[in-house]
Chains A and B, each alone.
Chain A
């Protein structure tokens, strides 16, 4: 295999048959190239869709209310349904064994927030400690709201990183006082959110504080909770679906809303949505794999075909070589070594070209649904070897047969 004389002979043959070498290489390289690009974009789409879901926890249920649209038990339609602290407490207590994190929300828009000379308008959101997980907020400095803050109606706030940059610039905001609509709050933490600037232009404060400070009584605008995940995704979806159904029924009952009134009490079950998206991602991945495997099969057939033609074309040469004393095994070996060299070289070239293109173009793609297209290097390398192996196998049998032909018959071949 590492016989220098043999390699010289092979390189000479390849050099003298440039077109053949080029065509073989092209079919292998383009096959691998297309596969790499396909798999890369498949991963890119998956990454993109996944990151869309990273804004919030993927297993939450949220409940909010609106206006009734149906007459029920003597009550007229058009009545506004208002959630109360009591609803939140009762429901979260009742299903506590299935609920991991929970929070009620009461927020105010458009309040002016000041720090020294800097000011801006932000969302003031009252929440429970569990909201950090639900919103997927990451604390980069200080801490999030805790139970004591809620119980004692502390005037503390956790500000988004955008807000911190707007109001504090480079200053450390922890422990500083900000003024919200004339009321002072102490900053206890800074968070970032995968949801981006939109989700960072807000301040989280204890829900009880907002309710009392901004005339909220015991009103709640929405309720949020995350469902405990079981190991089996399907089970989790099932649990989440039945839980959200029960909660919806219960809230409707408490507020005397018709069971088929879809406007008055609304519920969002993210796991069910996630399941749909995952199914979509799986489908997309399956399609890409299908196309990719098709490409590989086409590549293998192509390489096999070329090998067949090469051997056929060289039958006479094989006869000549045998007549002047070549061993059949050395002829087969030479043809295969040549084939392996060409397909391997071209395959790796296609692989590198594909990876290079992904590397180059990947970061330029500005789409919410395609992010970081990339390829599992091992998968790509495996396909190269698969292609080389299949091509070699496809070439072996005709080469072996040709080498077994009596030289006198091979020589007659025109």
Chain B
């Protein structure tokens, strides 16, 4: 699904050059649930941004489901983001003046899908995350966990190849965090590839594979025994 070869990325901070990613090699197969761990400054967010086409690498190879991701113009990048990727953010990033249903339907708008079909699909995904009854509510009327579930429904709405989650539980208490992870696990069970960036070990343990980043290189990459939320909480 994802092939990364010798990926480099550096930022210019004033006159200094900050080498953030120093030659990453990384592959993800279809249906994996991978967590990327590392302390702050390890380059894990940069790595996720590059995976999400929100940022571009200086050198190296990135192939997503057979499509080489390199020097994309804005139009193609937007199209790929829309069709290949679903984002879940730490701070939810819902559009505040749109209700839950419209938030979920928004990626479909950018796919050019007609309104009626958009609403139907959005309703389906909202039901999937268990928020059918909250469809007409604004984000401000929802709890943190509910907001994150709306965000997950939105990420799923465009039926992406890969779900990218940047600290999806960072703003939630542990009970809600586990609920969100349970949801991600069940989505993964249906065969969707998911990458989760986190710095919490218990969250990482709920995935199937943990990748450790340190100072811009992968220091550890191992498959783990997945902790199922449903059985433990």
Give residues in A with beta carbon < 8 Å to B. Answer: 5, 8-9, 12-13, 16-17, 316-317, 319-330, 406-408, 411
Contact = CB atoms under 8 A, between A and B. Distances in A.
A325 B111 contact: yes
Q: Decide if the interface of chain A is mainly helix, strand, loop or mixed.
A: helix
Contacts of B49: 408
B93 A320 contact: yes
Contacts of A321: 95, 106, 110
B83 A325 contact: yes
Interface of B: 49, 52, 54-55, 74-75, 78-79, 81-83, 87, 89, 91, 93-98, 102, 106-107, 109-112, 114-115, 154, 158
A20 to B, nearest CB: 10
A319 B54 CA distance: 10
B115 A327 contact: no
Nearest to A9: B109
Contacts of A330: 110
Contacts of B115: 5, 8
A330 B107 CA distance: 13
Contacts of B78: 322, 325-328
A330 B111 CA distance: 12
Contact of A317 (B79, B95, B107, B158): B95
Nearest to A320: B93
Contacts of B109: 5, 9
Contacts of A5: 109, 112, 114-115
Contacts of A16: 97-98
A363 B34 CA distance: 79
Contacts of B114: 5
A353 to B, nearest CB: 29
Contact of A406 (B54, B83, B87, B110): B54
A165 to B, nearest CB: 70
Contact of A13 (B75, B91, B97): B97
Contacts, number: 66
A158 B17 CA distance: 102
7 contacts: A5-B114, A12-B102, A320-B95, A324-B107, A325-B110, A329-B74, A408-B54
A409 to B, nearest CB: 9
A393 to B, nearest CB: 22
A331 to B, nearest CB: 10
A13 B95 CA distance: 11
Contacts of A319: 93
A325 B82 contact: yes
Contacts of A406: 54-55
Nearest to A317: B95
Given A16-B97, A17-B97, A324 B154 contact: yes
Given A12-B102, A320-B93, A406-B54, A327 B87 contact: no
A321 B96 CA distance: 12
The residue in A9, A13, A17, A407 that gathers the most chain B C-beta atoms within 10 A of its C-beta is: A407
Given A5-B109, A12-B98, A321-B110, 15 more contacts: A13-B97, A17-B97, A317-B96, A319-B93, A320-B95, A321-B95, A321-B106, A324-B81, A324-B110, A324-B158, A325-B78, A325-B83, A408-B55, A411-B89, A411-B93
A9 to B, nearest CB: 7
Contacts of A326: 78, 82, 110
Nearest to A403: B74
Contact of B87 (A316, A324, A328): A324
A12 B97 CA distance: 9
Contacts of B154: 324
Nearest to B79: A325
The residue in A16, A320, A323 that gathers the most chain B C-beta atoms within 10 A of its C-beta is: A323
A323 B111 contact: no
Contacts of B74: 327-329
Nearest to A327: B78
B106 A323 contact: no
B95 A323 contact: no
Nearest to B138: A16
B55 A323 contact: no
The residue in B89, B93, B154 that gathers the most chain A C-beta atoms within 10 A of its C-beta is: B93
Nearest to A323: B87
Nearest to B155: A324
Contacts of B79: 325
A346 to B, nearest CB: 20
A322 B81 CA distance: 9
A327 B107 CA distance: 12
Contacts of A12: 98, 102
A324 B74 CA distance: 13
A320 B151 CA distance: 11
A329 B52 CA distance: 20
